[in-house]
Amino acid sequence: MRYAYVRSDLVYRISLLNEFFDFVFFADHDSVINKDVVERFAESGKESSKDIEFLKTLPQSFMEMFKHNSFRNTLQNMSDELEKLPVLFLTVPVMFSSEHTDAIGKWARSNISSDIVLTLSVDETISVGCLFVWKNTLYDFSLEHYFDLHKKELTAQLIPSKPIKVLA
């Protein structure tokens, strides 16, 4: 969880771990999980290089938590714990790059909650800004919402109350 901020990424990584440990315990039959096993898993050719790099970054102490007869329970416990984490629902006009998503996630963990996860959705009808839900409260920072809030003031500024003389 330390380097993943979006809930769907965390769910994906748990799924990747499940596939990896299936390989380790049932296909490779290796009882010791180490970097060599990750390499053999990579050679099986199913996963992307990004997934393999993620597996390589996991410390040995993390890998040793998983045993042949209990790895599925351990992964299920991880999934259950993920469901308990506070979620910031963020709706944006376009999908962000992973760098931008990570920056938002880091900011949220520094400023809102250290164990927060993001759930991102894209709504193309939001032209500028975003919406987010935190603790069942909607916060609307879209341009449309701003216009709605300040419609009278904006109209007054755009349409003068007295006719303007145009010099010809």
Bridge-based pairing state of the strands 87-92 and 131-134: antiparallel
**pLDDT one-digit tens code per residue, 6-26:** 999 999 999 999 999 999 888
**pLDDT one-digit tens code per residue, 79-98:** 999 999 999 999 999 999 98
Radius of gyration of the chain (CA): 24
- Return d(Cα 166, Cα 168) in angstroms, integer: 6
- Return d(Cα 101, Cα 1) in angstroms, integer: 14
**pLDDT one-digit tens code per residue, 35-62:** 788 888 888 877 888 899 999 999 888 8
Cβ atoms 88, 112 nearer than 8 A: yes
3-state percent helix, strand, coil for the chain, nearest multiple of 5? 50, 10, 35
Q: Is 78 left (phi over 0), alpha (psi -120 to 50) or beta?
A: alpha
The answer, yes or no, to whether residue 30 has pLDDT greater than 70, is no
User: pTM of the entire structure?
Assistant: 0.77
